[in-house]
Amino acid sequence: MATELGRKELRPAIRALRPEDARAVAEILRQSPEAVFWPEASVREVLVWEGALGLASEVRAEVVGFLIARQMRDEAEVLNLAVAPENRRRGEGGALLRAAVVEFRKRGENRTPRESLSTRSIVSLKQDGVNDITANPWKQLL
C-alpha cells in the first residue's frame, strides 16, 4: 500500500505568475515549439502590462505550466500558454484556462474571442466539454 501511495501524482497548485518565474517559463517555452517563445525579459515585461494576468501551475515548488493573458476593455485574450512536456495530458492546461476564466469573471469579463485562442487551447477546451468555441467558451467552462 505504501508503494501505491508513493506513486500517486501530486496535483498542481495554480497561483499568480511572478517575475522570478520568468526563467522557468522561458525553459518551458524552449521545450514547446507549438507555443510562442518569449525570452525571460519579455515574460517579466508582460506581467506589468495593464490588464495582464499571469498564472503558474506548480508542483513541488516548480513551475510546470503557465498562462499569460490580458484584458483590454471588454475582451480578454490568452497571449501564451504552455505546459512542460512531462506534465502534459494531465489537464493542467485546462486548469489554467479555467482559473483564467474565474479571474476574468472577477474583473467583469465574460467574452474571450476565438481568435485569441491557439489550436491547442481550443483542443484543450473541447476536451473539457466546451463544444461551441465561437459562442462563448468561458461561459461553458463555468
Q: In this predicted model, what pLDDT tens digit does every residue of 91-127 receive, in sequence order?
A: 888 899 989 988 888 877 555 544 445 555 555 555 5
Q: Does some domain include residue 97?
A: yes
* Grid coordinates belonging to 69: 493573458
Q: Does some domain include residue 2?
A: no
d(CA 82, CA 84): 7
Q: Does some domain include residue 81?
A: yes
Q: Does some domain include residue 4?
A: no
Mean pLDDT, the chain, rounded, equals: 78
pLDDT of 128:
52
Is the model's pLDDT at 10 over the cut of 90? no
pLDDT of 2:
46
pLDDT of 135:
45
Q: Does some domain include residue 136?
A: yes
Strand partners, 75: 72
Question: Measuring CA to CA, which residue among 113, 97, 101, 93 is closest to residue 139?
Answer: 101
Q: Does some domain include residue 5?
A: no
Range of the domain at 64: 11-141
pLDDT digits 0-9 by tens, 12-22: 899 999 999 99
pLDDT of 120:
54
Is the model's pLDDT at 3 over the cut of 90? no
Is the model's pLDDT at 52 over the cut of 70? yes
Based on the structure, what is the number of domains in the chain? Answer: 1
Q: What is the CATH number of the domain that holds 114?
A: 3.40.630.30
Q: Does some domain include residue 107?
A: yes
